[in-house]
Every structure is written in C-alpha cells, then in structure tokens.
Amino acid sequence: MALLGRNKPPYKEWKLEELNYTVHSPVIRPVGDELWVAGRAFSEQLPPSMLPPEPSPEKIASLARQDERLAKSPQDWHTAIWRIVGDQLEPILVLPSRGDNAYPGMVVEEDRLLISYYSQHDVDNGPTPKPGEYASEIYLAEIIK
C-alpha cells in the first residue's frame, strides 16, 4: 500500500489518500497542469502491454546454471511514470529498466521532461539481477510533450 499526502501552507493538517500502485523511491513534479510521479514498481503491478519483453528461455536457463535463484524470482522491478488523477495513479510509461533500479529525478522544461535513473537492464537482463552482484548504469530519458 502507498499513501499520497496533500497539504497547503502552513502544512499542519495532511490529507492522506491510498493509491492504487505502490511506488518505491518516488519523485513528484508538476508537468503542465498535471502532477506526474516517477518511481519503481513490481512488474506485476504494471500494465503488461507497457513491460519490456521477458528474457529468452535460453537466457534464463543460462542464469539458472550460475545461480538458481535468478530463475525463480516471481517479481521484477521497473522504473515507471504515472500521472495523478484524483486519488489514483494512471500509468503513462515504463522506462527501459530491470533488476535493481530506482531513485529517478525529474526536470521539467517547456517542451520536454528529463528523467534520470539507474538500472541493471543493460548489465544483465535475467529475471532479477541480485542487488550488489552486478553493476548498474545511469540513464537519462527525454520525454517530449
């Protein structure tokens, strides 16, 4: 479960709303007249049509020979973007990501949104790379409005 807290100055009485997605390491920014959220979520929480393709059975088998835990993980993480609509999150986009990934930053310019984040998807595209075992890369995504 995730909660969104809303308030206005002097920030003494918060209104908490339960969200329909759990978002890890979130960042919220106004984009035009909307509020957008970027963060990490489990694959199973995201629309399947937005997810990157699964690794091939051969790749999973190869990883399983290295460490059987890599072939048995039921969940995977992805960095995604949502817009806040009322008290719900509406998914917009899943960024290329897999394994240990998160902590996005967002910069809004007139005609584009820049999002920085880290991910292991280019390092090892197995079911779930183990945090600390593989290197991560830093990415900058540009979204044109």
Question: Per-residue pLDDT tens for 33-45?
Answer: 999 999 999 888 8
Q: Which residues contact 15 (CB under 8 A, 6 or more apart)?
A: 5, 6, 7
Q: Give the pLDDT means over successive 10-residue stretches in the chain (145 positions).
A: 91 94 95 95 89 72 58 70 95 89 93 92 60 78 90
For position 52, what pLDDT does the model report?
A: 79
- The runs of H, that is alpha helices, within the chain are 57-66, 69-72
Q: Which structure tokens are listed for 130?
A: 């183990």
Q: Domain ranges in the chain?
A: 15-144
pTM of the predicted model, to two decimals? Answer: 0.80
Our CA angle for 52, 3, 34, nearest 5°, is 65
